């Protein structure tokens, strides 16, 4: 083995270690790989940065935009709700409906986006039939992963292996080439889940920390908000008089949330007879929403939420009077204008790793965070110092309009539940247009009127030009971490090939496996890929193993299509770990799952998928 081979293996080992440990972000690791390959002169600069102009990268970026438009216009949510409406009230029928719905949508758009859209609806549906969400959310994530295997654009590994065939002068996979094996896997996955899998799923209805659909009143009770409700009176000598909500530093300094200002209307002269005036003043207090335009006046009553210590500290600082809350004050927590809701932080959320003060959460989103819940973590997390994590649930309060606005920021938030006050339009104005553009793209791909990259980029541009999403939204919906990961790991594949490692490994494997039936080689590639994809991203796994599968096929003198498709499919079978795929982690907190739950249900799913792939692919793509 040459020095260049050892050096390249060292760079690959570095990448794998950091991918698994997450000591560095995956996109940073990919950039380190690119730069190291250039510095060590294993690749020329033009070869090392070629991944950033690769058709694969441009296609994936375009598909992010198209998927974002489908989500932004409400088309995906509308389709999902209509399909889920036909489900009955039993666990089996609900499970079938959930898995079919998410599989269909995931075949044409991001599986993470699909799960984020359907997650609140599935939780709501489970709650309405008194079923634990933990019985439906693993099927939701697994259905999304299976759906990605059904079309060429379902998941990045499918595109990667097809492009590899094209680069080597072989017939690439067409749009529906994945569909036969994909449909078989979807059906077998559903059959497993409604029989054996259903018994393996945990039932954690009564366990604390379970995230389910609740009314605002139920959420308030669970967080014990009424227990921390107080009336604060602004005394005539208070230094708070003349200041607004920001200048009072209620949240930033005292960790107190002002829900409402109660103020008596000004006295008005009703009748004037000479020097005698009849003055009328309403006794009923008027509720005012706190804002920077409203300054505090003497005798204002502030409905405040906070701990005893924080309320006492606030009152002492501003010379305020503290009174116990009245039962009617609880209406300030949630009413027709103001409400509370829980929002889940997905993996790509820009809030992850930051504290609420550093984010200026209240100023940017015009909402107040009342609490943070962390799956399996301790309660009463400090709102000022806690660094947010993927899977955290924030209890936010503010106007329903501002809460609804979080739904548009799907990269950062998943709004849980569907209170009536939060119901938006079932289908936005641009939804039919987005559907037409998506259908047109699919027709051009199926009919092979345009290359995949051309048709996807054209559809993405049309989504922007027609207003299905703005150009700023287009930039925000692209998962740039994934884009840099793909662009950075493609040169790693090129380096392995250039120094001869792919040929060396393929030659040794060919000698060792040459006497075996190619079916067993498919099984070996599937098993290897599926193991790697539990700890690496499916994209990085496909980039590394697909060239090896191609070389083995060429050395054995057989058509490599079945081998490459087995790699692509196995890369999406990330069932056995909550961190193997973003969709698994996204449902972990909502279903109150443990690591062992994924292994228990996911390992049999992987084995079933491997056996099906071994015996079906040779029939679809003869050697």
Of the ranges 98-102, 111-115, 614-618, which one carries the lowest mean pLDDT score?
111-115
pLDDT at 426: 38
Q: How confident is the model at residue 57 (pLDDT cuts 50, 70, 90)?
A: confident
pLDDT, greater one: 610 or 476: 610
pLDDT at 273: 56
Is residue 426 one of the residues assigned to a domain?
no
Which of residues 332, 365, 388 is at a domain's end? Answer: 332
One domain for residues 518 and 609: yes
One domain for residues 38 and 57: yes
CA distance 468 to 130: 37
517 has a pLDDT exceeding 80: yes
pLDDT at 585: 72
Tell me which H or E stretch contains 373.
strand 368-373
- Could you tell me if 162 and 455 are in contact, meaning their C-beta atoms sit under 8 angstroms apart? no
465 has a pLDDT exceeding 90: yes
Q: How confident is the model at residue 477 (pLDDT cuts 50, 70, 90)?
A: confident
Of the ranges 14-28, 297-311, 352-366, which one carries the lowest mean pLDDT score?
14-28
CA dihedral angle for residue 289, residue 294, residue 296, residue 302, rounded to 10 degrees: 10
Which of residues 383, 416, 449 is at a domain's end? Answer: 416
One domain for residues 68 and 141: yes
pLDDT at 424: 44
One domain for residues 139 and 276: no
212 has a pLDDT exceeding 50: no
Q: Average of pLDDT values for 60-72?
A: 84
CA distance 107 to 419: 30
Q: How confident is the model at residue 6 (pLDDT cuts 50, 70, 90)?
A: very high
Q: Average of pLDDT values for 609-617?
A: 95
One domain for residues 344 and 374: yes
pLDDT at 460: 93
Of the ranges 40-49, 94-103, 273-282, which one carries the lowest mean pLDDT score?
273-282
pLDDT at 207: 45
246 has a pLDDT exceeding 50: yes
pLDDT at 283: 53
Taking the mean position of all CA atoms in its chain, how far away is CA 395? 18
Query: Percentage of residues in the chain with pLDDT exceeding 70?
Result: 88
pLDDT, greater one: 457 or 383: 457
pLDDT at 267: 56
Is residue 213 one of the residues assigned to a domain?
no
pLDDT, greater one: 505 or 282: 505
DSSP letters of 526-587? HHHHHHHHTTS-HHHHHHHHHHHHHHHHHHHTS--HHHHHHHHHHHT---S-TTSSHHHHHH
pLDDT, greater one: 272 or 185: 185
One domain for residues 151 and 13: yes
Is residue 423 one of the residues assigned to a domain?
no
Q: How confident is the model at residue 37 (pLDDT cuts 50, 70, 90)?
A: very high
Pairing outcome for strands 301-305 and 229-234: antiparallel
Q: How confident is the model at residue 45 (pLDDT cuts 50, 70, 90)?
A: very high
One domain for residues 582 and 473: yes
Is residue 217 one of the residues assigned to a domain?
no
pLDDT at 378: 60
208 has a pLDDT exceeding 50: no
Highest mean pLDDT among 325-329, 427-431, 511-515, 577-581: 325-329
- Residues 161-197 have pLDDT tens digits of 999 999 888 999 998 899 999 999 999 999 999 999 9
CATH code at position 288: 3.30.70.1450
Q: How confident is the model at residue 584 (pLDDT cuts 50, 70, 90)?
A: confident
One domain for residues 388 and 349: yes
One domain for residues 77 and 158: yes
Question: Exposed e or buried b for every residue in 53-66, given b needs 16+ CB within 10 A?
Answer: ebbbbbbbbbbbbb
Task: Catalogue the E-assigned strands of 154-267.
Answer: 229-234, 257-263
One domain for residues 276 and 380: no
pLDDT at 541: 86
Is residue 214 one of the residues assigned to a domain?
no
Which of residues 272, 304, 332 is at a domain's end? Answer: 332
Q: How confident is the model at residue 271 (pLDDT cuts 50, 70, 90)?
A: low
pLDDT, greater one: 223 or 57: 57
- Residues 419-452 have pLDDT tens digits of 444 444 434 678 889 989 988 988 998 887 888 8
pTM of the entire structure? 0.67
Q: How confident is the model at residue 158 (pLDDT cuts 50, 70, 90)?
A: very high
CA distance 368 to 393: 14
Is residue 219 one of the residues assigned to a domain?
no
Is residue 215 one of the residues assigned to a domain?
no
pLDDT at 602: 93
pLDDT at 142: 95
Q: Per the structure, how many domains does the chain have?
A: 3
Is residue 427 one of the residues assigned to a domain?
no
Q: Average of pLDDT values for 358-379?
A: 81
pLDDT at 181: 95
CA distance 137 to 185: 19
Pairing outcome for strands 229-234 and 286-288: unpaired
One domain for residues 262 and 407: no
- Residues 82-112 have pLDDT tens digits of 766 676 667 888 899 899 989 998 898 878 7
For every residue of 276-336, which 3-state class applies, written as one string?
Answer: EEEEECCCCCEEECCCCCCCCCCCCEEEEECCHHHHHHHHHHHCEEEEECCHHHHHHCCCC
Question: Across the chain, what does the average pLDDT equal?
Answer: 83
One domain for residues 471 and 608: yes
Residue 311's domain spans which residues? 226-332
Q: How many CB atoms lie within 10 A of CB 247?
A: 12
pLDDT at 371: 84
């Amino acid at each position: 083995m040459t020095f260049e081979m050892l050096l390249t293996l060292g760079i690959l080992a570095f990448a794998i270690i950091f991918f698994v440990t997450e000591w560095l972000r995956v996109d940073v690791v990919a950039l380190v790989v690119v730069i190291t390959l250039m510095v060590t002169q294993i690749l020329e600069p033009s070869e090392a940065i070629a991944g950033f102009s690769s058709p694969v990268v441009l296609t994936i970026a375009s598909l992010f935009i198209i998927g974002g438009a489908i989500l932004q216009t409400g088309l995906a949510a509308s389709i999902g709700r209509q399909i889920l409406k036909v489900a009955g009230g039993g666990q089996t029928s609900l499970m079938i409906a959930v898995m079919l719905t998410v599989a269909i949508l995931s075949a044409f758009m991001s599986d993470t986006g699909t799960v984020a859209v359907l997650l609140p609806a599935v939780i709501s549906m489970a709650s309405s039939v008194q079923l634990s969400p933990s019985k439906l959310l693993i099927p939701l994530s697994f259905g999304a992963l299976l759906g990605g295997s059904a079309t060429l654009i379902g998941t990045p590994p499918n595109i990667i292996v097809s492009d590899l065939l094209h680069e080597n002068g072989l017939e690439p996979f067409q749009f529906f080439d994945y569909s036969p094996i994909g449909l078989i896997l979807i059906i077998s996955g559903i059959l497993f889940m409604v029989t054996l899998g259903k018994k393996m799923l945990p039932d954690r209805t009564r366990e604390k920390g379970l995230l389910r659909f609740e009314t605002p009143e139920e959420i308030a009770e669970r967080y014990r908000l009424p227990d921390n409700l107080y009336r604060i009176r602004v005394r005539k000598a208070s230094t708070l008089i003349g200041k607004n909500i920001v200048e009072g530093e209620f949240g930033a300094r005292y960790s107190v949330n002002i829900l409402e200002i109660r103020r008596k209307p000004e006295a008005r002269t009703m009748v004037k007879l000479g020097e005698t005036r009849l003055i009328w003043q309403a006794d009923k207090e008027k509720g005012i929403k706190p804002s920077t335009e409203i300054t505090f006046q003497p005798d204002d009553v502030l409905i405040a939420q906070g701990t005893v210590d924080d309320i006492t500290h606030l009152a002492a600082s501003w010379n305020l009077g503290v009174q116990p809350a009245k039962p009617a004050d609880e209406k300030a927590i949630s009413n027709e204008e103001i409400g509370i809701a829980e929002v889940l932080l997905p993996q790509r959320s820009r809030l992850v790793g930051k504290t609420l003060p550093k984010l200026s959460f209240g100023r940017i989103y015009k909402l107040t965070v009342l609490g943070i819940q962390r799956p399996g973590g301790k309660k009463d997390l400090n709102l000022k110092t806690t660094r947010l994590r993927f899977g955290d649930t924030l209890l936010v309060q503010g106007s329903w309009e501002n809460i609804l606005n979080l739904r548009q920021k799907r990269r950062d938030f998943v709004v849980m539940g569907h209170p009536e006050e939060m119901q938006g339009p079932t289908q936005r104005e641009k939804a039919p247009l987005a559907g037409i553009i998506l259908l047109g793209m699919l027709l051009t791909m199926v009919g092979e009127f345009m290359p995949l990259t051309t048709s996807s980029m054209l559809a993405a541009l049309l989504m922007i030009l027609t207003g299905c999403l703005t150009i700023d939204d287009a930039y925000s919906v692209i998962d740039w971490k994934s884009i840099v990961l793909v662009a950075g790991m493609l040169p790693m594949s090129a380096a392995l090939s250039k120094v001869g490692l792919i040929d060396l490994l393929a030659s040794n494997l060919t000698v060792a496996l040459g006497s075996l039936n190619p079916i067993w080689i498919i099984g070996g590639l599937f098993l290897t890929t599926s193991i790697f994809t539990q700890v690496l991203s499916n994209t990085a796994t496909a980039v590394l193993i697909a060239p090896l599968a191609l070389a083995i096929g060429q050395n054995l003198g057989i058509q490599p299509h079945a081998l490459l498709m087995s790699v692509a499919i196995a890369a999406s079978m990330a069932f056995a770990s909550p961190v193997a795929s973003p969709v698994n982690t996204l449902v972990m907190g909502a279903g109150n799952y443990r690591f062992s739950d994924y292994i228990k249900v996911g390992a049999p799913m992987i084995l079933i998928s491997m056996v099906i792939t071994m015996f079906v692919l040779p029939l679809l793509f003869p050697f």
